[in-house]
Amino acid sequence: MNPETQKTIDDFLDNKEDVCDGIMDDFKETLGLVPFILPILRERPDSFVFNGLGDLYTFNPESMDRKTAELLAVSAAAAIGADACLKVHIGAALKEGATREQIRDTISIAGLIGKTGILGASFRVMNKAIPDDE
């Protein structure tokens, strides 16, 4: 790393504790709580400050409103079976004005994509194992 970039990073890290506190506060405001993983990750502030900021910016995209971002988080959490995350993001989606119907449909779409992913992968294996002409 060039010395100028390193100095900028070092100067930034001089304030890491304040930035870490701000990240925690922003997540609490956005989600209504601090997810249990954040305090554990914060135990390594040099890493948390960069990852936390990246997560915060990713989670608050300029291209969409908060409700849409939360519904996407609901969909992703449902798709990977992350029940604790799903609960948090359902609450945050409700806070942003999502309705029960919107959340239900979001989860239904995630389930449909999950189902077709399983079927597609499984049928490909089946077709290789059992050719059509058998």
Helix axes 16-31, 3-13, angle to 10 degrees: 60
Alpha carbon distance 129, 75 (integer Å): 33
Sign of CA dihedral 96, 109, 107, 38: negative
Displacement of CA 72 from its chain's centroid (Å):
9
28-56 pLDDT per residue, tens: 999 999 999 999 999 999 999 999 999 99
- What mean pLDDT do residues 54-77 have? 95
Domains of the chain: 1-60 (no CATH), 65-134 (1.20.1290.10)
With b meaning 16 or more CB within 10 Å and e meaning fewer, what string describes 60-88?
A: eeeeeebbebbbbbbbebbbeeeeebbeb
Prediction pTM value: 0.83
| 42 CB-near residues (< 8 Å, 6+ apart) | 20, 24, 48, 52
pLDDT at 134 over 90: no
Comparing CA positions, the residue from 121, 115, 30, 23 lying closest to residue 73 is 30
pLDDT the model gives residue 1: 86
CB distance 71 to 106 below 8 Å? yes
14-35 pLDDT per residue, tens: 999 999 999 999 999 999 999 9
93-114 pLDDT per residue, tens: 999 999 999 999 999 999 999 8
pLDDT the model gives residue 82: 94
